[in-house]
Amino acid sequence: MRKIQMVDLTSQYQEIKEQVNSSISQVLDTAAFINGPEVHKFQAQLETYVGAKHVIPCANGTDALQIAMMGLGLKPGDEVITADFTFAATVEVIALLQLTPVLVDVEPDTFNIDPICIEKAITPKTKAIVPVHLFGQCANMDAILELAEKHNLFVIEDNAQAIGADYTFANGQKQKAGTIGHVSATSFFPSKNLGCYGDGGAIFTNDDELAHTIRGMVNHGMYVRYHHDVVGVNSRLDSIQAAVLNAKLPNLDEYNNKRREAAQKYSKAFDGQENIIVPRTVGRCEEICDTCNCHVFHQYTLRILNADRDALVQHLNDKGIPCGVYYPIPLHRQKAYLDERYKEADFPITNQLVKEVISLPMHTELDDEQIAYITETVLGFLNNEA
Ligand SMILES: *Cc1c(COP(=O)(O)O)cnc(C)c1O
In whole angstroms, what is the distance from residue 234 CA to residue 252 CA?
A: 28
Element (H, E) at 349: helix 348-356
Helix (H, G, I), strand (E, B) or coil at 38: helix
Residue type, 258: K
The pTM (predicted TM-score) of the whole model is: 0.97
Other Cβ atoms less than 10 A from the Cβ of 233: the count is: 16
Other Cβ atoms less than 10 A from the Cβ of 120: the count is: 12
Q: State residue 385's pLDDT score.
A: 72
Q: State residue 288's pLDDT score.
A: 67
Query: 187 CA to middle of ligand 1, Å?
Result: 6
Which of 189, 235, 236 to probe ligand 1 with, by most ligand atoms within 8 A of CB?
Answer: 189
**Residue owning the nearest CA to atom 1 of ligand 1:** 160
In whole angstroms, what is the distance from residue 134 CA to residue 301 CA?
A: 10
Query: What ligand 1 atom has the least distance to the C-alpha of 161?
Result: 15
Mean pLDDT (10-residue bins), the chain, 386 residues: 93 94 95 95 98 98 98 97 97 97 97 98 98 97 98 98 95 94 98 98 98 97 94 97 97 96 96 94 70 90 97 98 97 96 97 98 96 98 83
With a Cβ cut-off of 6 Å, ligand 1 is lined by 60-62, 86-87, 89-90, 132, 158, 160-161, 187, 189, 199, 201
Query: 89 CA to middle of ligand 1, Å?
Result: 6
Structural contact between residues 245 and 196, judged by C-beta atoms closer than 8 angstroms: yes
**Residue owning the nearest CA to atom 14 of ligand 1:** 160
**Residue owning the nearest CA to atom 10 of ligand 1:** 89
Query: What ligand 1 atom has the least distance to the C-alpha of 65?
Result: 10
Query: 114 CA to middle of ligand 1, Å?
Result: 20
Helices (H), strands (E): how many in the chain? 12, 14
Query: 119 CA to middle of ligand 1, Å?
Result: 25
Query: What ligand 1 atom has the least distance to the C-alpha of 63?
Result: 9
Query: What ligand 1 atom has the least distance to the C-alpha of 62?
Result: 9
Radius of gyration of the chain from Cα atoms? 21
Which of 87, 113, 159 to probe ligand 1 with, by most ligand atoms within 8 A of CB?
Answer: 87
Helices (DSSP H) in 139-297: which residue ranges?
141-151, 208-217, 239-248, 252-270
* Strand 183-187 to 174-176 pairing: unpaired
Domains of the chain: 9-105+112-250 (3.40.640.10), 252-385 (3.90.1150.10)
Query: What ligand 1 atom has the least distance to the C-alpha of 64?
Result: 9
Q: State residue 384's pLDDT score.
A: 87
